[in-house]
Amino acid sequence: MTAGQRPLASLQVVVTRPVEQAHGMCRLLERAGARVFRLPLLVVETWVPPVAARLPGQPPAALLGDYDAVIFVSTNAVIHAGGLLQALRAGSEGDAEGPAVGAIGARTARQLAQAGIRVNWVPEQGFTSEDFLALPALQSLPNRRILIVRGQGGRELLQARLQQRGAVVDYREVYRRRCPSIDINQLTQQHRKEPFDMIMLTSGESLQNLLQASGAPDWLLGIPVLAGSRRIAAAAGQAGFLTVLAAGDPSDSAMLAALQRWQAGRNKHHD
């Protein structure tokens, strides 16, 4: 393989995705010649909240037919939805039309399609709640019952805007995120032996977990960060990272493309 086919051959990159979501990114980086240091900063796990912890209006899957639409906020929402996906598939196979299905972004829509779910609403561009809310079909929703499938906690913007447009909105929380055990000593030793060239961050929680576990030492803040969105990039800059880049979106392909552009710029500058 030529140098042109291995554009990242001189880089050591820290990949911080959860273990089960990091394989694709690591493969792409390694094919491009980069050395990968895996540092998962989040654990994502299926979660069934106890009755006492359920949010008001959080329904059982059996009541899915009461909804006009179901919106999935992320690929994790699809992966951990379990019986909810079965109920959606069963509803679409019957004579009566099931609820419309929305996906916040293209990756979530693809995950739903792989699960056999037809997606009615997905933005052509973008992957945020704001992009989704701009869809024409969502501008007026008088008395429409909508179920948002998400993780524990999260942004409230989607619910608030849909309610402003007349919808009755409930949540179904199907997964939760937690901080794993992070070995900062291993990270420090590896950086001393072979300095990191880039840290990839695709969630605000991962950023916070890294800062809390490490204490944000100067050597860490000096490593460039590639963020999966402008929002994460802004948070990294506010946290003190000296060099912060933002990819077009947090997908593997967009993150890789942004890293390759950055490296190409460095090479051009050094020539």
Write the pLDDT tens digit of every residue in 127-167.
889 999 999 999 999 999 999 999 988 778 999 999 999 99
Distance (Å, whole) CA 128 – CA 119:
17
Give the pLDDT of residue 91: 65
Distance (Å, whole) CA 189 – CA 174:
37
Packing angle, helices 204-214 and 230-239, rounded to 10: 20
Give the pLDDT of residue 97: 73
Spell 144-172 as b/e; 16+ CB within 10 A means b.
bbbbbbbbeebeeebbebbeeeebbbbbb
Sign of the Cα torsion 14, 19, 24, 30 reads: positive
Please give the model's pTM, rounded to 2 decimal places: 0.80
Give the pLDDT of residue 52: 44
Give the pLDDT of residue 235: 98
Q: Torsion over CA of 118, 69, 74 and 123, rounded to 10 degrees?
A: 70
**CB-CB contact of 80 with 47 (8 Å):** yes
How crowded is the C-beta side of 38, counted as CA atoms within 13 Å?
14
The CA-to-CA distance between both ends of the chain, in Å, stands at: 22
Distance of CA 229 to the CA centre of its chain: 10
What stretch(es) of the chain map to CATH 3.40.50.10090? 3-42+180-270, 46-177
Distance (Å, whole) CA 157 – CA 139:
15
Sheet strand arrangement including 198-201: 35-38, 12-15, 198-201, 225-227, 244-246
Distance (Å, whole) CA 156 – CA 164:
12
Pick 3-42+180-270's CATH classification: 3.30.70.270, 3.30.200.20, 3.40.50.10090, 1.10.10.10: 3.40.50.10090
Pick 46-177's CATH classification: 3.40.109.10, 3.50.50.60, 3.40.640.10, 3.40.50.10090: 3.40.50.10090
Q: Which residues of the chain have pLDDT under 70?
A: 1-4, 50-63, 91-96, 269-271
